Amino acid sequence: MSGQQWTRVDGSEPEWETIRRTLTEAGDTWAVVGLSNNTARAAYGVAQVLRRFGKRVVPVHPKAETVAGETGYARLADIPFPVDVVDVFVNSSLAGPVADQAVAVGAKAVWFQLGVVDREAYARTRAAGLDMVMDRCPAIEIPRLG
């Protein structure tokens, strides 16, 4: 995938580099916002892929359900340990505040899933120094790592 010519939304560097860095260098603790025990939801399947890729997946959902043995939390701020990446499975209209919360808790990166787009949140998150991936899915991108 080293020949990819994808560009970031803000045009600053090839998007593939940010995707690669987020998946391989940002850290192994991923908070998945919108993850519950509903196996029919995309978040559940993506969380399984992340776990197989060696990531610790922390569920963040208003119900604060335990998923696959990992304690769930109602909000990012409730997680009592550092989070490296915040993976967002909520409607685009709700994603911006989640990105802001990710900045507030000290995450290194934010990942908006396929169909989750908020260019203003993207700009704010990048301005805060975090890596940001938008409208992509790690379950699709992980196999592309080679």
Tell me, yes or no, whether 3 lies in a domain. Answer: no
Q: What is the pLDDT of residues 53-99, one digit of tens each?
A: 999 999 999 999 999 999 999 999 999 999 999 999 999 999 999 99
Q: What is the pLDDT of residues 13-44, one digit of tens each?
A: 558 899 999 999 999 999 999 999 999 999 99
Number of domains within the chain = 1
pLDDT at residue 7 greater than cutoff 60: no
pTM for the whole structure:
0.90
Which of 90, 140, 96, 125 lies closest to 10, judged by CA?
125
| DSSP designation for 18 | H
Q: Which domain holds residue 139?
A: 15-76+83-145
What is the distance between the alpha carbons of residues 62 and 59, in angstroms, rounded to a whole number? 10
Provide the pLDDT confidence category of residue 2 given band limits of 50, 70 and 90: very low
Tell me, yes or no, whether 8 lies in a domain. Answer: no
Tell me, yes or no, whether 7 lies in a domain. Answer: no
